[in-house]
């Protein structure tokens, strides 16, 4: 039964969730908020939705680029290099991004007569992104449930998983991760040095996947 909207970036995590939950997904929603890498991600989001026959919607959030402060919105040179565990990675936070996207997706779900909104946050996100934490997911789900007539809930099945766990699921599903985008710099190739590139490399290696990503380095 098609009962869900999914927030689909076009990265490894949300693409894996798209394939894993495809039988339940009525609509995939991508958001263009003006980040360095949005265009690269969204192209892959559209590709996978076409392949699976899932309806796709693109929503522009231009105000975030105009009013929010984040290195993801300030050009490739502003994005720090290193590991997510490094303190400088906090500059990549886009304030309350997931809260805004979940709110919009919830309104769409209610308008479409659907029951759930899916997101693909994971355990590695918690330390740096407050709007990926288990506490946030629980609170948002309570809010969407209370604030909609059908009692729409947030489904975030990867919240306690590592990115390597997700990559293993993708491997079992036969997903070609060369058709996903992670790099925060958004160049022609993955830079291989920013936090999300480093995390991508580590996850592939731990999952036993021959990394198909083309890196600048």
- Rounded CA separation 19/172 (Å): 11
Phi, psi of 31, rounded to the nearest 5 degrees: -120, 130
Q: Are strands 4-7 and 55-60 parallel, antiparallel or unpaired?
A: unpaired
- Rounded CA separation 83/155 (Å): 28
215 neighbors 81 (Cβ within 8 angstroms): no
What 8-state DSSP symbol labels residue 180? Answer: S
> Where is the binding site for Zn(2+), in residues?
183, 191, 194, 197
Beta bridge pairs of residue 153: 116
> Where is the binding site for ATP, in residues?
8-18
Residue 23 Ramachandran class (φ > 0 left, ψ -120 to 50 alpha, else beta): alpha
Terminal-residue alpha carbon distance, the chain: 44
> Where is the binding site, in residues?
8-18, 183, 191, 194, 197
- Rounded CA separation 65/14 (Å): 22
- Rounded CA separation 49/113 (Å): 20
108 neighbors 7 (Cβ within 8 angstroms): no
What 8-state DSSP symbol labels residue 26? Answer: E
């Amino acid at each position: 039964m098609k009962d869900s909207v999914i927030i689909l970036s076009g990265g490894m995590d949300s693409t894996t969730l798209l394939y894993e939950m495809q039988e339940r997904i009525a609509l995939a929603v991508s958001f263009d908020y003006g980040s360095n890498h949005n265009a690269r991600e969204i192209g892959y989001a559209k590709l996978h939705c076409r392949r699976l026959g899932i309806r796709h919607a693109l929503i522009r959030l231009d105000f975030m680029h105009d009013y929010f402060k984040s290195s993801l919105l300030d050009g490739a040179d502003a994005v720090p290099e290193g590991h997510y565990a490094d303190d400088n990675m906090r500059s990549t936070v886009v304030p309350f991004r997931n809260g805004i996207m979940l709110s919009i997706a919830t309104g769409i779900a209610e308008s479409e007569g659907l029951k759930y909104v899916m997101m693909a946050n994971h355990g590695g996100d918690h330390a740096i992104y407050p709007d990926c934490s288990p506490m946030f997911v629980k609170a948002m789900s309570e809010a969407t449930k209370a604030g909609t007539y059908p009692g729409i809930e947030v489904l975030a099945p990867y919240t306690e998983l590592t990115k390597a766990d997700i990559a293993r699921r993708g491997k079992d599903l036969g997903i070609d991760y060369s058709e996903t985008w992670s790099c925060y710099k958004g160049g022609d190739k993955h830079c291989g040095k920013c936090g999300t590139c480093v995390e991508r490399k580590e996850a592939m290696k731990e999952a036993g996947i021959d990394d198909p990503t083309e890196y600048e380095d």
